[in-house]
Structure 1
């Protein structure tokens, strides 16, 4: 697209509005700065808007966040109104979360990944899933839990968990990373009941492999997809964020 050369001559209020309207939702991946670090940083590329000019960086819709302890410190550009923050459960299921993760008070859309660990340890020891766990995220509006275990193991998670005053259960999903399938509030209990009734005796819930084709699971998905009143279970291409 051709450059709009008169842009600097627009009124400042109009320029700032344009900068904010140009922001797009992103999946912002947050990880530990190093193996033994207590601070966080991000491998996600900065949004192009922050590279446009000084005004876009200082007055635009993004702020510097997730500073590392390096010298000079690394940081990520974040828009907590639009970005979905993706973080490993192991990094936020900790007693000192409030001290090492100050950005938690601004996060509105959170995607927590609980893959590669023992299901029993995650469900029993992850502070995020305790009654007070989501109290550390007072602005939370949407939550995704990304797992690599059969969704049947998480069938009761949405209904049994309080996600805070701003995050209704209708805004919560459990996503199976290997298959891309997900369940929401209205399908999670039904899925658990169906699994217990028709599948559990033949095939216990377990960790799934990418691209795995399972007869019983396929039968259940076919049943859901042919019922017009049930539309929440879906197939995702990746685990993109959906903050709006």
Structure 2
């Protein structure tokens, strides 16, 4: 029996289930160089179009019937010259290479549910996240339910960001931190624990063990619970 000979209801159901998660990458916004007031620019009135390097899903090219039933909707519709594409906001994950590029997601911020953050193009990401409030824009992503952060150089500092700064509306239990070198996926509390352990209990950044002559002082400092997780708090973390 061929696919075309299946009942229409069954075919339409199969098309609706055929979508696979995709990575929406290199989202960019093109703005007009014309004259706009500060308020107009804040309202994105100067946007010409948004674009992404991600190709349209294959389902939208299979046939007319697949396009009718595939679970995609038009996205990147902002601007006076929109260059829209198709997105499944339940499945697709939006990927950014710096904290600043989150702002390039102009339209459908309230629809994005999954976000993947790298800092390859943002060497001062910690300064951006803390002193410049780069994560405040996540307040616009009201349906954000999952965030993945790739740990680059200085990545342990994300543990402090997790503890002291917010990630918008995303549930804290759905925020994970990925170490590409080891493949480890850590929760926020686990990453904070790793950072505290390295700072107070383990080797220094150059791989040198604690000085034996100062070990008693280091132990006393490590057990001081005013500036880091106590041993009891560490024990409570799963």
Q: TM-score, normalised by structure 1?
A: 0.65
Other structure's SS at 2:14 match? helix
Other structure's SS at 1:102 match? coil
Check if 1:109 corresponds to 2:118: no
Q: What residue in structure 2 maps to residue 234 of structure 1?
A: none
Q: 1:129 to 1:161 in 2, by over 3 A?
A: same
Of 169, 188, 207, the residue aligned with 2:191 is 188
Check if 1:140 corresponds to 2:144: yes
Q: What residue in structure 2 maps to residue 77 of structure 1?
A: 86
Q: What residue in structure 1 maps to residue 11 of structure 2?
A: 15
1:46-195 map, 5 Å: 46-67=56-77, 73-88=82-97, 89-93=99-103, 101-117=106-122, 118-124=124-130, 127-130=133-136, 133-165=137-169, 167-177=170-180, 180-195=183-198
Q: 1:90 to 1:116 in 2, by over 3 A?
A: same
* 8 Å CA contact retained: 1:152, 1:195: no
Q: 1:147 to 1:185 in 2, by over 3 A?
A: closer
Report how many residues are paired: 196
Following TM superposition, by how much is the alpha carbon of 1:156 offset from its aligned partner in structure 2, in angstroms? 2.0
- 1:138-188 CA-to-partner distances (Å, cap 9, x unmatched) read 1111011234223321112223344445x3212101234566544213412
Q: 1:77 to 1:173 in 2, by over 3 A?
A: same
CA distance in 1, matches of 2:14, 2:60: 13
CA distance in 1, matches of 2:128, 2:142: 22
* 8 Å CA contact retained: 2:135, 2:167: no
* 8 Å CA contact retained: 1:159, 1:169: no
CA distance in 1, matches of 2:93, 2:202: 34
Following TM superposition, by how much is the alpha carbon of 1:124 offset from its aligned partner in structure 2, in angstroms? 3.2
More contact order relative to length (CA 8 Å, sep ≥ 6): 1
Larger radius of gyration: 2
RMSD, aligned CA: 3.4
Greater mean deviation of Cα atoms: 77-86 or 26-35: 26-35
Check if 1:26 corresponds to 2:22: yes
Structure 2 unaligned spans of 5+: 34-46, 210-235
Q: After TM superposition, what 4+ stretches of structure 1 lie above 6 angstroms from structure 2?
A: none
CA distance in 2, matches of 1:25, 1:4: 23
Q: TM-score, normalised by structure 2?
A: 0.67
Following TM superposition, by how much is the alpha carbon of 1:111 offset from its aligned partner in structure 2, in angstroms? 1.1
* 8 Å CA contact retained: 1:114, 1:122: no
Structure 1 unaligned spans of 5+: 205-213, 217-228, 232-244
Other structure's SS at 2:108 match? helix
